[in-house]
């Protein structure tokens, strides 16, 4: 009886090159897709962080939604020098005065008290929540110019 040998054949060189090219193209597409997804996630995270940090500040600076906590606050700011003998900081005497009103946003106290003329009234109950946001509405002084002789 004759036995037939099964002829085993492998892949040809052309088939191997085509398979490698297909795998390379698929890898390139997958890498491009992964890079685009990663960039989208990074942009999303940056936008979210910006909203989290700047949103309350922007909301707090809306005077119509904020409570007047203190009227006519005055802050003195000056340069200081360290005294070489005592080691303490001493003001140089040229203080700049900043004037303004202190406002606070408190979502738990939604009613904004106003007087008969519609001006905000000091509301101490607006400062009870540890998540409040506070800002000072500063009166911007008129610029001064030095006269030359």
Q: What is the pTM of this model?
A: 0.37
Share of the chain above pLDDT 70, in %: 62
In this predicted structure, the answer to whether residue 149 has a pLDDT above a threshold of 60 is no
Task: Determine the Cα–Cα distance for residues 136 and 132; give it in Å rounded to an integer.
Answer: 13
pLDDT tens for each residue of 18-66: 999 999 999 999 999 999 999 999 999 988 888 777 776 666 566 666 7
How do the domains of the chain map onto residue ranges? 12-60, 65-138
pLDDT number for residue 109: 58
105 exposed, middle or buried (CB, 10 Å; 0-12, 13-18, 19+)? buried
pLDDT tens for each residue of 86-128: 888 877 777 777 888 777 766 555 566 677 777 767 766 655 5
119 exposed, middle or buried (CB, 10 Å; 0-12, 13-18, 19+)? exposed
């Amino acid at each position: 009886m004759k036995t037939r040998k099964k002829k085993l054949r492998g892949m040809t060189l052309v088939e191997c090159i085509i398979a490698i090219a297909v795998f390379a193209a698929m890898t390139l597409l997958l890498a491009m897709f992964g890079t685009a997804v990663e960039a989208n996630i990074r942009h999303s995270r940056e936008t979210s962080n910006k909203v989290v940090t700047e949103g309350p500040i922007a909301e707090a600076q809306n005077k119509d939604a904020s409570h007047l906590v203190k009227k006519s606050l005055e802050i003195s700011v000056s340069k200081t020098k360290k005294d070489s003998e005592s080691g303490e900081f001493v003001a140089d005497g040229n203080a700049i005065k900043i004037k303004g009103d202190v406002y606070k946003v408190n979502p738990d106290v939604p009613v904004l008290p106003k007087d008969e003329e519609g001006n905000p009234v000091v509301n101490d109950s607006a400062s009870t929540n540890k998540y409040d946001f506070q800002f000072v509405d500063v009166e911007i002084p008129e610029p001064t110019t030095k006269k030359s002789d």
